[in-house]
Amino acid sequence: MATMTATAPRLANTAKPGVWLPAYSLWQREIVRFYRQKARVVGVIASPLIFWLVLGSGFAHSFQSGSSSGHYLGYFFPGSVAMIVLFTAIFSMMSLIQDRNEGFLLSVLAAPVRRSAIVLGKVLGGASLAAIQGIVFLVFAPFVGVHPTFASVGVAILVIVMISFELTALGFAVAWPMDSTQAFHAIVNIILLPLWMLSGALFPASGASGWLRLCMRLNPLSYGVDALRNALFPTAATDFSLTTNLAVTLGFCLLTFAASWAIVNRRTHQPAA
C-alpha cells in the first residue's frame, strides 16, 4: 500500500503531457476534419476565385494601378489571396464553437494539458489550412502577368503563412467566448470583413479620403497585403517597404496569439460562483 502511494505522484507527473504533443493532436484533427469535407475545400477556393475574376474583369478597363500587370486583376490578386486566407481562418475557428457545443472542448479542458497547447494546436491547425489554400491560389499568378522568381515566391509564402497565423489567432480570440455560430458571424461581419476591405485589397490608400486613408494605415492587415504586393510586383509602387510590412505583420501575429492565450487562461481561471 505504501509503495502504491509513493509511486502515484510519480506516475501522475510522468503521465502529464507537455505542450507539443497535445498541440500536434489538435492540429492533426483540424487538418483531417477539413479535408474530409470536400464541399468546404471547393468553396474556400471557388468563391474567392469567382470574386477575383468577376470583380477584376469588371474593373479591368476602368481601374489604373501601378502594378506591372497594368489592370485591376493584377492589383486585386494579393487581395484575393488574403480573402482566401480570411475565409479559411473564419470557418476553421467556427469549429471551436462546434467543439464546445458537442462537448469535445470540455473534454480537452478537463484533460491534464496546458491551455497554451489548446491555443497553439487550434491556431496552428487553422493557420496551416489557410496558408495551404492561399499558396495554392498562387498558381493563378501567371494569368495576371506575374512571373516571380524563387526568392519572391519564398517571400510570398512567408507572408501568406504570417497572415494566416494572425487572422486565425484573431478568429480564435473572437470565437472562444461565444456559444453560437450566429453571434460569431455577426462579429465577423463587423470586424474581420471590414479589416479585409480596408487593407488595400480592393483599392489603394492613395486614392482614398483622409479618414479612410488613416483607417487603412492603422489596419495591420494592410501591411500583410502590401507585403504580398511587394513580393509579387517588385517594381510596383507600394505604400511601405517590405521590411516594414514584415515587421508589422510579425508583431500583429505575436499580439493576436498573446491575446488568444490570455483569453483562454482568463476564462478557465475564473472562480466558481
d(CA 93, CA 192): 12
- Give the type of residue at 202: L
5-14, 42-51, 86-95, 186-195: the lowest-pLDDT one:
5-14
**CA 126 to CA 117: how far, in whole Å?**
14
pLDDT band at residue 150 using 50, 70 and 90 as cut-offs? confident
Q: What is the pTM of this model?
A: 0.81
Q: Place 57 in a pLDDT band, splitting at 50, 70 and 90.
A: low
99: its cell numbers: 467543439
Over residues 12-53, the pLDDT tens digits come to 444 556 778 888 888 888 888 777 776 666 766 676 777 777
Helix axes 220-232, 210-218, angle to 10 degrees: 80
E strand or H helix at 91: helix 72-102
Q: Which of 62-66, 93-97, 173-177, 197-201 has the lowest mean pLDDT?
A: 62-66
- Residue 211's Cβ-count burial label (10 Å; 0-12, 13-18, 19+) is exposed
pLDDT band, very low/low/confident/very high, at 69 (cuts 50, 70, 90): very low
The answer to which of 16-25, 62-71, 216-225 has the lowest mean pLDDT is: 62-71
pLDDT at 250: 95
